[in-house]
Amino acid sequence: MPRRTSGAAEALGLGSVTGRVAPGYRADLLVVDGDPLADLRALGGARAVVAADRMHVSSN
C-alpha cells in the first residue's frame, strides 16, 4: 500500500510545495533496495538521497 504524505503537507499548509512526487514540488526521497516495510535492514543500504531537490548518491 502506498504511503501518502500529501495529507500531512496540506495539514501543515505546505501542500502547494511538498507532499507529492511531481514537477514543481520539493523532493525529499530516500532510495533503497528492497522494501523497508517488510525488512528494516533495507534502510541501511541507501542508494541515494534526494534532499531539497538535490541528488546525493552513495559512493559504496
* pLDDT tens readout for residues 15-46: 899 888 888 888 788 888 999 889 999 988 88
Q: How many Cβ atoms are within 10 Å of 44's Cβ, its own excluded?
A: 10
In a domain, 51, yes or no: yes
- What is the pLDDT at residue 1? 43
- Is the backbone of residue 57 left (phi > 0), alpha (psi -120 to 50) or beta? beta
Residue tagged 514537477 (cell numbers): 23
pLDDT higher than 70, residue 2? no
Count of domains for the chain: 1
In a domain, 14, yes or no: no
pTM for the complete prediction? 0.58
In a domain, 58, yes or no: yes
pLDDT higher than 90, residue 53? no
H or E element, residue 30:
strand 29-32
Alpha-carbon distance 30 to 58, whole Å? 11
In a domain, 45, yes or no: yes
Decide: 18 and 28 in contact? Cβ < 8 Å: yes
